[in-house]
Structure 1
Amino acid sequence: MQPYRETLWPSPWVIIALALVVPATMLVLAPVSLAAGIVGAVVLYGGCLALAFGTAPRIQVSEASLSVGKASIPLGFIGEVVVYTGTDATAQLRTKLDARAWLMIRGWVHSLVKVEIVDPADPTPYWLLSSRRPQALADAIAAARTHA
């Protein structure tokens, strides 16, 4: 079985949006000192980028478990896996969302994978995950479950 790995890096639009910290910092610090404004803007933008990339969640499917960020579940407790894109994905996040579900959603990723949880001791009915390659993730979970 080929292990599945995906990291949900920020999209280019997120990086551009984070650049808004530069003029905001300059607006606050430049009247005090232009050098402080430039240094502050560079440091804050760098910190925002480090935070955005450093906290990007990783999705992994191994022979024994599905791991998403710090959460992990054995494959034996996984039921049906469904891929949602477009308006179906939007509906899953709005009218069809169960408040007990475990979510790992990134707004810049528009497709979702719903992983049913069949552990009787777990009150969580399903995990809802953002994925740039939702069908590959669903296929990897199915393949890992057949090999387990």
Structure 2
Amino acid sequence: MSWWIIAAAAVVTLFVITAVPAGTLAGTLVAGVALVLLLTFFIQYGGARVEVDAERFRAGRALIERAYLGEVEALTGDDARHAFGRDCDPKAYLLLRSYVRGAVRVEITDPRDPAPYWVIATRAPERLAAALSGNSVARS
């Protein structure tokens, strides 16, 4: 939520610093362009899909067949925060959404995949872990 407030303040600031010397029309155009760019960025950033079906697991742009999934671990609190930071393997695939507090770490067993595991931010880590471990279908 705080990013939306910061973005709104930035748009207003751009309007004022442009409108004062160049006029209201110029300020409105600059603020409008900034608003469209920020909205596009936020929607793109927050729109990463996490889907599990019977054959595949999709997290953002990454897709893997479920046959290549190993151990699945739901992470919350400090465990989730550390999974994206100090405990993270640089080769791991990360789907980081900073506004989400939970995560799931999924071991990747495909020998051709350079990522040893994926860490996926999710609001419902237990539900996603259950879907990946069992035969459930989940969307986030």
Q: TM-score range by the shorter chain?
A: 0.7 to 0.9
Identity of aligned residues (%): 32
Pairs within 5 Å for 1:47-126: 47-55=37-45, 56-126=47-117
Q: Which has the higher contact order (CA 8 A, sep 6+)?
A: 1
Pairs within 5 Å for 1:14-29: 14-29=3-18
Q: Give a deviation string over 1:23-80, Cα, whole Å, max 9, x none.
A: 3312431121122212321332133112211342111101101001221000000001
Counterpart code for 1:43: V
* Structure 1 residue runs without a partner (length 5+): 1-11
Alignment coverage as a number of residue pairs? 134
Indicate conservation of the 8 Å contact 1:64/1:144, yes or no: no
TM-score by structure 2 length? 0.86
TM-score by structure 1 length? 0.81
* Structure 2 residue runs without a partner (length 5+): none
Indicate conservation of the 8 Å contact 1:77/1:119, yes or no: yes
Q: Report the alpha carbon displacement of residue 103 of structure 1 after superposing the two structures with TM.
A: 0.8
1:128 counterpart residue number: 119
| Superposition RMSD in Å | 1.7
